[in-house]
């Protein structure tokens, strides 16, 4: 089993369906990852310890998926210099606007690269993580090229079906 290069962290097990979207894309791209539930509010000490030791354990990118007052990505970014990709989740009565703003509006000096809400954001976080790793990994770059070609073929096939 290869050592995880990407972490998929979710704030609660209620975020699992969204996290599975990131996990599926990482699997497709052949990127070893680990998935964990940790909370900025419910397990703050464990989360800080995890983020502080992430680089020395071989992780290269952290994906943080959370809803409500989503401080997960920011709390991780406060404790590591690894790239942190935030995915807000629409799990509250505010339909995710709260999570989106809490994730994207980081103060100067502590960036979180914020993706779209929900499943599309989680999938894109996985692809963006792969693109970051592909800067120094030709195999992953090749798999990303193949993914782009597959998406292009999908649109071409859909157009052919429209013409039939």
Nearer to ligand RP5, 42 or 152 (CB): 42
Compute φ and ψ for 120, nearest 5 degrees. Answer: -65, -35
CA pair distance 67, 163, nearest whole angstrom: 42
Name which of 151, 148, 17, 161 is nearest 87 in CA terms.
17
Alpha-carbon separation of residue 136 from 24, 92, 133 (angstroms)? 22, 39, 6
Shortest distance, CB of residue 31 to ligand RP5, whole angstroms? Answer: 23
Shortest distance, CB of residue 40 to ligand RP5, whole angstroms? Answer: 7
User: Which residues form the interface with ligand RP5 (CB under 6 A)?
Assistant: 11-12, 14-15, 39, 66-68, 89, 91
User: If you compute the radius of gyration of the chain from its CA atoms, what whole number of angstroms results?
Assistant: 16
Nearer to ligand RP5, 48 or 147 (CB): 48
Nearer to ligand RP5, 4 or 67 (CB): 67
CA pair distance 76, 63, nearest whole angstrom: 10
Shortest distance, CB of residue 125 to ligand RP5, whole angstroms? Answer: 14
Shortest distance, CB of residue 38 to ligand RP5, whole angstroms? Answer: 10
Nearer to ligand RP5, 63 or 140 (CB): 63
CA pair distance 72, 9, nearest whole angstrom: 9
Shortest distance, CB of residue 150 to ligand RP5, whole angstroms? Answer: 31
Nearer to ligand RP5, 41 or 143 (CB): 41
Residue labelled with tokens 């909370």: 39
């Amino acid at each position: 089993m290869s050592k995880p290069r990407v972490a998929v962290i979710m704030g609660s097990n209620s975020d699992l369906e969204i996290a599975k979207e990131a996990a599926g894309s990482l699997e497709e791209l052949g990127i070893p990852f680990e998935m964990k539930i940790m909370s900025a509010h419910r397990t703050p000490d464990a989360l800080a310890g995890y983020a502080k030791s992430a680089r020395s354990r071989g992780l290269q990118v952290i994906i943080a998926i959370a809803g409500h007052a989503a401080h997960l990505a920011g709390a991780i970014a406060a404790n590591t210099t690894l790239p942190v990709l935030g995915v807000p989740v629409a799990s509250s009565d505010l339909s995710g606007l709260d999570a989106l703003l809490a994730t994207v509006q980081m103060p100067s000096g502590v960036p979180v690269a914020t993706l779209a809400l929900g499943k599309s954001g989680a999938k894109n976080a996985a692809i963006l993580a792969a693109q970051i790793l592909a800067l120094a990994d030709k195999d992953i770059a090749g798999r990303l090229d193949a993914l782009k070609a597959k998406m292009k073929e999908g649109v071409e096939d859909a157009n052919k079906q429209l013409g039939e």
